[in-house]
């Protein structure tokens, strides 16, 4: 943890009270029969969610044909300040693949993928095709479930999980996954961020009743509060298609935010002294630059 973040954490702890957890967010969509709490953009808005899929479920459909992009974000913003953490669980499904790409290493049709996004804006969708609706967001995090090999050194396989930053789909961390995301089955995903340690973990498993894996599929250390330039954020999803298509659906979604632990009262005096000492040390270091 860098000195600036540590100082913020100590000062925040000194000012915190036992009511800090009242600012936590707890949202659950068992299905998407009611999408009134979401801001729908581009194809997700045009489709007229909620959509009934081929299994009779009310789903959030982001794309349904070629050359599309769509996004859906919560209408309420949330702050990642004071080392706030979050956990999200969602189910997704990709079906109706068409437009098989010659030369692909995978026989299953479809593209391009779904991205879970933590972003400072909620009213537009990023780039289409390989951009998966995320490319171009200037302040935020993307966890991509990519279904197409775009032939670059950072996107060299057609089925992987990746962690994206600053609107770039050149993932800073990536892990190939089998079987295919667009195999028509329900997939479960867990994204957990610890605001104290700055550790982001992603887990994915096939099946709507899948248990959360013990080991993370992918992990990466990042200070999201700094990455979004200390702005409030929106949680949501993006997706896109190009010359290939898929119905790209979110079936279920849960989000919970967790406040950093509040120190015991007798610890606050020590923390306050620590804040003064750390502040003095930071000023000394600043003069040496």
Per the listing, tokens 């040496």 go with 288
Does the pLDDT at position 7 exceed 70? Answer: no
pLDDT band at 260 (very low <50, low <70, confident <90, very high): confident
Report yes or no: 30 and 208 within 8 Å, Cβ to Cβ: no
CB atoms within 10 A of CB 66: 14
The H or E element containing residue 173 is strand 173-176
At the topology level, CATH places domain 22-262 in Jelly Rolls (2.60.120)
The confidence band for 193, taking pLDDT boundaries of 50, 70 and 90, is very high
**What stretch of H or E contains 154?**
none
Q: Which of 49-58, 121-130, 158-167, 265-274 has the lowest mean pLDDT?
A: 265-274
What band does 132 get if pLDDT is binned at 50, 70 and 90? Answer: very high
Task: Name the helix (H) or strand (E) containing 11.
Answer: helix 3-15
State the pLDDT confidence band at 157, using cuts at 50, 70 and 90: confident
Residue 267 parent element (H or E): helix 265-288
* Res 4: pLDDT: 53
Domain extents in the chain: 1-16+272-289, 22-262
Element (H, E) at 284: helix 265-288
| 8 Å CB contact between 93 and 237 | no
pLDDT recorded at residue 265? 60
If pLDDT is split at 50, 70 and 90, which confidence band does 280 have? Answer: very low
pLDDT tens sequence across 263-274: 666 555 554 555
pLDDT band of 125, cuts 50, 70, 90:
very high
Question: Residues 90-110: pLDDT tens digits?
Answer: 999 999 987 655 555 555 578
Write the pLDDT tens digit of every residue in 235-254: 999 999 998 999 999 999 99
Rounded CA separation 160/279 (Å): 43
- Here the tokens at position 80 are 């990642």
Instruction: Look at residue 2 in the predicted model and tell me its pLDDT.
Output: 56
Secondary structure (3-state) at 218: strand
Q: Is 123 exposed, middle or buried (0-12, 13-18, 19+ CB in 10 A)?
A: exposed
């Amino acid at each position: 943890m860098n000195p600036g973040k540590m100082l913020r954490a100590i000062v925040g702890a000194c000012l915190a009270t036992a009511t800090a957890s009242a600012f936590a967010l707890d949202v659950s969509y068992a299905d998407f029969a009611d999408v009134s709490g979401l801001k729908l953009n581009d194809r997700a808005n045009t489709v007229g969610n909620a959509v009934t899929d081929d299994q009779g479920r009310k789903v959030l459909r982001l794309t349904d044909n070629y050359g599309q992009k769509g996004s859906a974000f919560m209408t309420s913003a949330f702050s990642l300040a004071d080392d706030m953490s979050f956990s999200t669980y969602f189910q997704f499904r990709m079906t109706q693949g068409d437009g098989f790409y010659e030369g692909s290493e995978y026989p299953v049709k479809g593209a391009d993928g779904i991205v879970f996004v933590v972003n400072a804006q909620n009213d537009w969708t990023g780039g289409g095709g390989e951009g998966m609706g995320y490319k171009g967001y200037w302040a935020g995090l993307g966890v991509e479930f990519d279904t197409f090999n775009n032939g670059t050194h950072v996107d060299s396989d057609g089925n992987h999980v990746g962690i994206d930053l600053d609107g770039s789909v050149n993932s800073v961390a990536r892990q190939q996954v089998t079987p295919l995301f667009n195999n028509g089955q329900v997939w479960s995903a867990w994204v957990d961020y610890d605001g104290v340690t700055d550790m982001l973990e992603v887990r994915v498993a096939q099946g709507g009743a899948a248990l959360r894996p013990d080991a993370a599929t992918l992990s990466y250390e990042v200070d999201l509060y700094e990455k979004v330039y200390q702005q409030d954020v929106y949680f949501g999803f993006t997706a896109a298609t190009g010359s290939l298509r898929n119905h790209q659906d979110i079936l279920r979604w849960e989000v919970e935010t967790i406040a950093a632990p509040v120190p015991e009262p007798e610890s606050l005096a020590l923390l306050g002294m620590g804040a003064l000492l750390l502040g003095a040390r930071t000023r000394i270091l600043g003069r040496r630059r």
